[in-house]
Chains A and B, each alone.
Chain A
């Protein structure tokens, strides 16, 4: 049976939709944004983290693991799992865990009493649509249990998959990043045409949605991109748009994956206000998430 590869389940999520939500992060993404706050969700395979602070090994070896040493452990960071058993210190650990749809359903439904009237589950990632095969039966189970389902997508997925997902969803977050056709592909692999198709299907589907715009200079916060976004907004019927400043949240995770640090330029309140103003002018209903 196909399983879902889950990197994290956040059980008191307050920024991922109506009410209190349980957010499930699915691994694997069709994009590779350089600023990604969840770099562990990019690869579709399970990987190892390596947290050097937890390691007690030295070059020669480890007191608790005869086949490992600090150097060996460093080399495991970001590698696909399968080549190492386990580290008792938790210094080398697996990024994600496999769940059958039934297992994941049980994990999610535990929180049901805490969702109140509006809350529910939000699938995020990574790109949840990539795991559509096991995700659809799970969403069906949740639907039958009357759970409110939201998912967050980058929209860079086959239109037919996207439409199938929409049928089970109560709410959609569609990320909006750099949508300048000449730039997007090179930046993170986004197929802008496909994105626009999915967006138009979404807006025609009747499923309520919100566009999510992370502001990162110069990737998404540049006049060319903001112009395009505003044009896109104008084609829609007063869409909800959420904007927020992107922080260097992924840095510790990048370190554990053996990746280089990213540098993110600071976004000021003035930047946020400016973008908010432009989007409003274009007809969007804008919500600015405060810093922190």
Chain B
């Protein structure tokens, strides 16, 4: 206890706070390649920190960070959007994020409405919400006193007690709350279903310009907002979608957002379009036009498949139909859930290596013995992840609590499980490597007996040093994950089902469920940490991206493969078919549109496209100055090619080459 108090004491010192925040600020600065000395960072940052022993520390630190923050905004913009990168909250535990808040509460509602709502209850959250609303109101007053723009002033002042009067006011309010969330240290903030939220406002002649300015404002502080890589901001705008009554929702804003982003040609914010076989074709045409520009978005998310699974997962019909996504594509219920969907990675390939180094592998008489061993190891791995999930502590979060249904009713902060849903989600890496390795072991170790088990183990241990033939043997097998191949589909399915089964027996601290998906941004990072694998992959090489398979016939092979898989209630945390396409292939947009429509009708879960020219990427890597605007799709986000680390660049170049050669 004494130790913990000491730690608290040290953490509460001004010096420590500056040190910590300075380090953080410096690391963000360096992402932009603007080197800043630690000394300078140390003196520039203004941390907001309160000891946990202090009453209302969570609300107070919000107040403090506002008080510290400069309120400089871009004077060229019609909107007020200010973010002081040097003013930050010092947190100890994990900060909730990676999700949108329900912005309709502050467009069609007001702070007064939230106050009235709070007054219906009499608990800790009532008082927390009222205090926070007061802080927000004071912040509005401060801003209004500093700016001369009457229109902005009216939009913000109006937020106190009336719904937004028009599109401008609605967008300004969204930006205001959004900047507050960023300023208080939240990350990967999605925007939710903006076309739906804006539906009540008339789209007049000014609408296009306003949406463009809105997206430009969101795009500001691009580097500061980025998470693992520059571009990874999580600013996803969800558009379109099936309705409970069986109709497809879209409006003028659905088209305008896609159109404006393609015109702006910015990698961020990004768009996810909810698609369905009953959607109007012209929307898909606009989406295709945007994809063809190489922007990497919209990502297409198939409501026909996803909504029923979300209901199986446990969402009410209404919530399932109203789904949004976390920072990339992990579905969640908007406005009433904790849903931290990107917590840990299931490492399918590492689990295989664990199985191969187990003594039972040597005694395995048949491939099925190995498969059983693998599944047992996989269950253990999932249990270890569950243990880690149990240790995650969330910072108290008055802001998310204010905007999340269930917290008032339950009298609990969102971080304590107050929301209607408090579920988790996992990512995964190395599934393609794992499946390809299992196929190789089946054929070459068990069926054809060309490789002895000891040889296999030794060759992996030595990273194929001295075993070049094995490397070729394993990598040249054309029976692969992502191809229309019975064995590959069946193995993948068995693995998915095992994980689902194991996760179905787990409840998190709040009694919530945990789902997983076949994708992760970490396909390069975890590759670096994973030894050589029996698919010919050497130690440290990257894993494949999501559900992908580049090469001959890839565009249809990979969707036939993906449609052969059955996802269930717990395996619906984003399953993206990621295709690399040569520019020449989509020159005929009508045919590409037929293909996309085919993907939707045949039940592809989600899909995204990277339009890459091998020649151009190679040139761009050598001559970055020639390609300042070259955008590529990296994970659930797009980014400037020039901003990517070399290993990400190399992965894209390799994929572009395979797509071009049409060879495996």
User: How far, in angstroms, from A111 to B448 measured CA to CA in the complex?
Assistant: 33
Inter-subunit contact A115/B553 (CB<8 Å): no
Choose from A11, A54, A110, A113 the contact partner of B472 (Cβ within 8 Å). A54
A12 and chain B: residue at smallest CB distance: B555
Inter-subunit contact B591/A20 (CB<8 Å): yes
B602 and chain A: residue at smallest CB distance: A113
Inter-subunit contact A11/B557 (CB<8 Å): yes
Inter-subunit contact A116/B469 (CB<8 Å): no
| Chain A contacts for B553, CB-based, 8 A | 9-12
User: How far, in angstroms, from A56 to B602 measured CA to CA in the complex?
Assistant: 41
B478 on the A face (CB < 8 A): yes
| Chain A contacts for B251, CB-based, 8 A | none
A63 and chain B: residue at smallest CB distance: B469
| Chain A contacts for B557, CB-based, 8 A | 11
For the complex formed, measure the closest distance between the CB of B588 and the CB atoms of chain A, giving whole angstroms: 5
When A89-B476, A113-B598, A292-B584 are in contact, do A56 and B556 touch as well, CB less than 8 Å? no
| Chain A contacts for B484, CB-based, 8 A | 110
B448 and chain A: residue at smallest CB distance: A88
Interface members, chain A 100-134 (any B CB < 8 Å)? 110-111, 113-119
A265 on the B face (CB < 8 A): no
Interface members, chain B 228-247 (any A CB < 8 Å)? none
For the complex formed, measure the closest distance between the CB of B14 and the CB atoms of chain A, giving whole angstroms: 62
Inter-subunit contact A116/B473 (CB<8 Å): no
Inter-subunit contact B476/A64 (CB<8 Å): no
Inter-subunit contact A11/B556 (CB<8 Å): yes
User: How far, in angstroms, from A11 to B484 measured CA to CA in the complex?
Assistant: 12
When A56-B469, A56-B472 are in contact, do A14 and B585 touch as well, CB less than 8 Å? yes
Inter-subunit contact B469/A19 (CB<8 Å): no
B444 on the A face (CB < 8 A): yes
| Chain A contacts for B473, CB-based, 8 A | 56, 64, 88-89
A90 on the B face (CB < 8 A): yes
Interface members, chain B 437-488 (any A CB < 8 Å)? 443-444, 448, 450, 468-469, 472-473, 476-478, 484
| Chain A contacts for B601, CB-based, 8 A | 113
| Chain B contacts for A91, CB-based, 8 A | 476
Inter-subunit contact B594/A115 (CB<8 Å): yes
Chain A interface extent, by class: 20 to 34
Say what secondary structure dominates the interface of chain B. Answer: helix
Inter-subunit contact A119/B444 (CB<8 Å): no
| Chain A contacts for B477, CB-based, 8 A | 90
| Chain A contacts for B597, CB-based, 8 A | 114, 116
Most buried by B among A10, A19, A88: A88
When A54-B476, A64-B473, A89-B473 are in contact, do A12 and B450 touch as well, CB less than 8 Å? no
For the complex formed, measure the closest distance between the CB of B573 and the CB atoms of chain A, giving whole angstroms: 26
Inter-subunit contact A90/B598 (CB<8 Å): no
| Chain B contacts for A111, CB-based, 8 A | 556, 598
For the complex formed, measure the closest distance between the CB of B316 and the CB atoms of chain A, giving whole angstroms: 31
A292 and chain B: residue at smallest CB distance: B584
B560 on the A face (CB < 8 A): yes
Inter-subunit contact A90/B478 (CB<8 Å): yes
Interface members, chain B 549-567 (any A CB < 8 Å)? 553, 555-557, 560
Choose from A10, A14, A64, A89 the contact partner of B591 (Cβ within 8 Å). A14
| Chain B contacts for A19, CB-based, 8 A | 590-591, 594
User: How far, in angstroms, from A89 to B584 measured CA to CA in the complex?
Assistant: 32
B593 on the A face (CB < 8 A): yes
Interface members, chain B 586-617 (any A CB < 8 Å)? 588, 590-591, 593-595, 597-599, 601-602
Inter-subunit contact A116/B593 (CB<8 Å): yes
For the complex formed, measure the closest distance between the CB of B626 and the CB atoms of chain A, giving whole angstroms: 21
Inter-subunit contact A12/B585 (CB<8 Å): yes
User: How far, in angstroms, from A124 to B324 measured CA to CA in the complex?
Assistant: 46
B451 and chain A: residue at smallest CB distance: A64
| Chain B contacts for A64, CB-based, 8 A | 450, 469, 473
B277 and chain A: residue at smallest CB distance: A113
| Chain B contacts for A115, CB-based, 8 A | 594, 598
| Chain B contacts for A113, CB-based, 8 A | 598, 601-602
User: How far, in angstroms, from A110 to B588 measured CA to CA in the complex?
Assistant: 22
For the complex formed, measure the closest distance between the CB of A78 and the CB atoms of chain B, giving whole angstroms: 20
User: How far, in angstroms, from A115 to B591 measured CA to CA in the complex?
Assistant: 8
A11 and chain B: residue at smallest CB distance: B556
For the complex formed, measure the closest distance between the CB of B470 and the CB atoms of chain A, giving whole angstroms: 9
| Chain A contacts for B448, CB-based, 8 A | 88
User: How far, in angstroms, from A120 to B450 measured CA to CA in the complex?
Assistant: 43
Inter-subunit contact A119/B450 (CB<8 Å): no
User: How far, in angstroms, from A118 to B555 measured CA to CA in the complex?
Assistant: 19
Choose from B584, B590, B595 the contact partner of A114 (Cβ within 8 Å). B595
When A11-B555, A11-B556, A64-B469 are in contact, do A114 and B476 touch as well, CB less than 8 Å? no
When A64-B450, A90-B478 are in contact, do A14 and B469 touch as well, CB less than 8 Å? no
| Chain A contacts for B595, CB-based, 8 A | 12, 20, 114
B581 and chain A: residue at smallest CB distance: A12
- Per-residue CB contact flags for chain A residues 40-57 toward chain B (1 = under 8 Å, else 0) read 000000000000001010
When A12-B585, A56-B472 are in contact, do A110 and B560 touch as well, CB less than 8 Å? yes
| Chain B contacts for A56, CB-based, 8 A | 468-469, 472-473
User: How far, in angstroms, from A135 to B588 measured CA to CA in the complex?
Assistant: 30
User: How far, in angstroms, from A14 to B555 measured CA to CA in the complex?
Assistant: 13
When A11-B556, A90-B476, A90-B478 are in contact, do A114 and B598 touch as well, CB less than 8 Å? yes
Interface members, chain A 1-29 (any B CB < 8 Å)? 9-12, 14, 19-20
When A12-B595, A63-B469, A119-B594 are in contact, do A114 and B556 touch as well, CB less than 8 Å? yes
User: How far, in angstroms, from A119 to B556 measured CA to CA in the complex?
Assistant: 14
| Chain B contacts for A9, CB-based, 8 A | 553
Interface members, chain A 251-292 (any B CB < 8 Å)? 292
Inter-subunit contact A14/B476 (CB<8 Å): no
Most buried by B among A56, A64, A114, A115: A114
User: How far, in angstroms, from A114 to B469 measured CA to CA in the complex?
Assistant: 40
- Per-residue CB contact flags for chain B residues 622-656 toward chain A (1 = under 8 Å, else 0) read 00000000000000000000000000000000000
User: How far, in angstroms, from A110 to B561 measured CA to CA in the complex?
Assistant: 11
B588 and chain A: residue at smallest CB distance: A14
When A12-B595, A14-B591, A113-B601 are in contact, do A88 and B444 touch as well, CB less than 8 Å? yes
Task: List 17 additional A-B contacts (Cβ < 8 Å) besides A54-B472, A56-B473, A89-B472.
Answer: A11-B555, A11-B557, A12-B585, A20-B595, A54-B476, A56-B468, A56-B472, A88-B448, A110-B484, A110-B560, A113-B602, A114-B594, A114-B598, A115-B594, A116-B594, A116-B597, A292-B584
Query: What are 22 contact pairs spanning A and B, CB under 8 A?
Result: A11-B553, A11-B556, A12-B553, A14-B588, A19-B594, A54-B476, A56-B468, A64-B450, A88-B443, A88-B444, A88-B473, A89-B472, A90-B477, A91-B476, A110-B484, A111-B556, A113-B602, A114-B599, A115-B594, A116-B590, A116-B593, A116-B598
> Which residues of B does A touch, CB under 8 Å?
443-444, 448, 450, 468-469, 472-473, 476-478, 484, 553, 555-557, 560, 584-585, 588, 590-591, 593-595, 597-599, 601-602
The 6 closest A-B pairs by CB, nearest first: A114-B598, A116-B594, A11-B556, A113-B598, A20-B591, A113-B602
> Which residues of A does B touch, CB under 8 Å?
9-12, 14, 19-20, 54, 56, 63-64, 88-91, 110-111, 113-119, 292
